[in-house]
Amino acid sequence: MRINYEPGFAIEKDVEVVINSANNNLLLGTSGAGKIRELSSKLSFVETFNYWIMLKYLPRNMKKWYRESYKKHGWEVRKAQVSCLTLLLKNKGESYAIGSAILDVHTFKNKKIIHAVAMGYDTEKDKDRRIKATKNSLEESLENSLALAQVIKAKTIAVPIMCSRPDYGLNPKESLAITNKVLKKFDKAFDKVIVCLDNDLTLKLKSKL
């Protein structure tokens, strides 16, 4: 398996599968997840109406958190977020387990997306609601994601250096070390993996790679 370390977002790479650094509620926020949202198609009037209908089926506090997050940041709801909401409703509106991996039905230019849930948000809390990633949760979510990619017979993958900001739980060096550790376990499974440096902190690692 060839491993390339490249600047840029995973969704922009020429691969079969993109690993998204996801939270347990699959809200597409910033960084790589936000780029997936931004690059996906805009919603028609009917699709927008359906999104708001779907949102009503979420638990009250999660629904409120979704609405507040989009309003606060001025994000536009797009098809990738609707697809994530569909996955959440299939999970009975419950948050996904930290450490899990979910294959999305939404694709972008024939790229499949796997959501690796290494961190989360407790929407029942008003303060300190972020559930920070740990070394164990990152390793578990990456292992589950790569195993899922193996099941769908992908040979090329792009993965970000996940949860690598202090308020997300890990620093870039810790996240990169875990990423490399997990990739070694799948050495024979894939032809190429692109490890993406998609923010100001991870870009500082480039000179050491």
Residue 154 has a pLDDT of 97
Q: Which residues of the chain have pLDDT under 70?
A: 126-128
Residue 189 has a pLDDT of 95
Residue 128 has a pLDDT of 61
The per-residue pLDDT for range 125-136, each reduced to its tens digit, is 765 689 999 999
Residue 127 has a pLDDT of 58
Residue 186 has a pLDDT of 96
- For residue 57, CA distances in Å to 26, 64, 114, 202 come to 15, 12, 24, 37
